[in-house]
Chains A and B, each alone.
Chain A
Amino acid sequence: QVTLKESGPGILQPSQTLSLTCSFSEFSLSISDICVSWIRQPSGKGLEWLATICWEDVKIFNPSLTNRLTISKDTSNNQAFLKITSVDTADTAIYYCARSQDNSGYFDYWGQGVMVTVSS
């Protein structure tokens, strides 16, 4: 059973750096054509794709946030990471990680999401 689970700080202050971890099981980011993406959803609103990292370490970012995003992976420990610098209240959202395969761009498994609140 493929699972993904996000973890993060819960709350942080404006201008800080948000660090998120996605821990997954029953698949590997060292296997061909597997990617993990980060997607966020402000409360009661729509979905925004943020970034993707794939098995061959290709990294793709949403241009609206490119300068603020870092994505990385630890294949030995089945984890993927996202950092967002200089957060502000607009970054308050539920953050999901999700898997895609076969370079399809469809997210077939999602984590439960982690709520991140940016507040002073």
Chain B
Amino acid sequence: DIQMTQSPASLSASLGETVTIECRASEDIYSNFAWYQQKPGNSPQLLIYDANSLADGVPSRFSGSGSGTQYSLKINSLHSEDVASYFCQQCNNYPFTFGSGTKLEIK
């Protein structure tokens, strides 16, 4: 199985700040990679796919980058509604695997 190592596990930032979350795959996943946002009490929602493509309806302050084994999610100008957990996922090989999540809070 491909292991997805996500960091940090938790993050506290101020409104308006820029934050970055990272994910490392245990082998090359050729950008077959996604980010999801899960707000408290809700199901995950697709944010980014193909490593850097914004899903429908996702604000442009979210962006994804990376290739090979290293990927990152950047949130510019943090909003209060960005409080959530964020998960990465590889879909290059079965079994699909997820990172352990990053819990983002506002300072």
Q: A residues within 8 Å of B by Cβ?
A: 37, 46-49, 60, 62-64, 96, 104-108, 110-113
Contact = CB atoms under 8 A, between A and B. Distances in A.
A60 B93 CA distance: 11
A112 B44 CA distance: 9
Residues of B contacting A: mostly: loop
B68 to A, nearest CB: 18
A105 B98 CA distance: 12
Residues of A contacting B: mostly: loop
Contacts, number: 52
Contacts of B100: 46
A105 B95 CA distance: 10
Contacts of B42: 112
Contacts of B91: 104-106
A106 B42 CA distance: 18
Nearest to A48: B98
B99 A46 contact: yes
